[in-house]
Amino acid sequence: MRTLPARYLVFAALAATLCAKDAPRPWPADAFRPVTAERIAALPAADQPAWRAYWEKSLAQEKLLPSRKGRELAPSRPLGGAPIPAIYSTKLNLKAPDAWYASEEARALADHLITWQTPVGAWTKGGDYSRDFRPVDNEHDEYSGGTYDNDSTITELFFLTRVSHAAMAAPAAAPRLTTWRASFLRGVTYIFNSQYPNGGWPQIYPLAGGYHDAITYNDDAVVHILELLHAIGNGEPGLDFVPAESVGQARERFRLGLRNVLACQLRDAAGHPTTWGQQHDALTLLPCAARNFEPIGECSRESVELVRFLMTLPQPDPDVAAAVHGAMAWFDRHVLHGVAWDRKSPAGTGLMAKADAPPLWARLYEIGTGKPIFGERDRMIHYDVAELSLERRNGYSWYVTAPSELYPLYAGWKLTASAKL
């Protein structure tokens, strides 16, 4: 678990002074830093060999891919023009009845999606799995290797496990089953290759630069990776075909990833664990910024899924327990009662009094002051959501209710976890 260094605490104190009138302010100059050979060379000598090996493997993996035009577009300055919409792969249902995964419809989707698997074993965003991949489909060059963003790669791998498991009792599906399983194992190798030496994962691999190199909790990317590794390590249904060597490696990668999650957790001035940022620097583990409207901050939304995941672990150790208790205490301190936010209503430019409103949290809070913060595409940080443009105000979940979902789970978890510690 990380205690913020003096420069961050000083910055937070300065921000509190400068923002006494809640004036918008720009991002700090080092809001995010990609992984580079120069940064690796500045690491302690003992850490450099593992990181150099990782860097060299990433470069080697990139040579397997088409020319990556998107590398030139990796965000290093504010972007102009129309906003880029979120892109999700289509037609993959992970919550269908078990019988559906034995249907020809599901099997056809599996057949199609493996044609979209990239040479390094992952998937990009926006795949249309109603048909096979075509070379002209790869419009988003920065993702040409693979990404965990927007549920990519892990969704495809979980889908393959469900279809494969359902096909085990159908001899006629045997040739396709072999192909699906081979695709799954290539994807698992991608997870192993993309994991940083310290246990985190970038959003895109091979490394693409910009904020894509950060350890990404946004949209639960790391949580989904850990869930899959945990399933492999436990030999859950549909995964008994995974070789023993890969199972053992999945367990070790899971252990290392979990330790990294705990190491990234922020602490308050008194040293108590609190919450996580949306992204954390790959080398320092400090919270960092991402898209032009996502500044550095303590994040409620992504921390919910991290806490929920930690509470699913069957044998929580004292560090895991402390992480959960600390985060729940943070939610208690930051909850808003009696107010609501409707971003789509004509009057919904800010919070409105509403006695029966559910508990509410801002999505992002300024580190050190605890003030809710809101981002604009020009990389200015605002302290009032009403100051944002209509496009940004309506296009992002600046307030959330998701932490409420944790409280009934936490009540039960405290009873069982305390008995196991």
Nearest to 169 by CA among 101, 235, 231: 101
Three-state DSSP at 26 gives: strand
> Rounded to an integer, what distance in angstroms lies between the CA atom of residue 104 and that of residue 183?
19
Nearest to 142 by CA among 155, 128, 115, 124: 124
Nearest to 197 by CA among 257, 122, 261: 257
HSE-CB of 12 using CA atoms within 13 angstroms: 19
Among 33, 150, 162, 198, the active-site one is: 150
> Rounded to an integer, what distance in angstroms lies between the CA atom of residue 164 and that of residue 349?
48
> Rounded to an integer, what distance in angstroms lies between the CA atom of residue 114 and that of residue 271?
47
Q: Quote the tokens at residue 233.
A: 């390590």
> Rounded to an integer, what distance in angstroms lies between the CA atom of residue 184 and that of residue 398?
36
Token pair 């936490």 is found at: 410
For residue 129, report the phi and psi dihedrals to the nearest 5 degrees.
Answer: -85, 15
Do 320 and 255 form a contact (C-beta atoms < 8 A)? Answer: no
Residue 150 known to be catalytic: yes
Among 107, 291, 363, 392, the active-site one is: 291
Helix (H) or strand (E) holding 365: strand 364-365
Q: Which residues contact 207 (CB under 8 A, 6 or more apart)?
A: 34, 35, 55, 58, 62, 213
Cα dihedral 188→190→191→193 (10° resolution): 130
Residue 107 known to be catalytic: no
Burial category of 300 from C-beta neighbours within 10 Å (exposed 0-12, middle 13-18, buried 19 and up):
buried
H helix intervals, 265-389:
300-310, 318-334
Nearest to 306 by CA among 388, 236, 216, 213: 216
Helix (H) or strand (E) holding 191: helix 174-194
> Rounded to an integer, what distance in angstroms lies between the CA atom of residue 397 and that of residue 308?
19
Residue type, position 10, single letter: V
Known catalytic residues? 150, 291
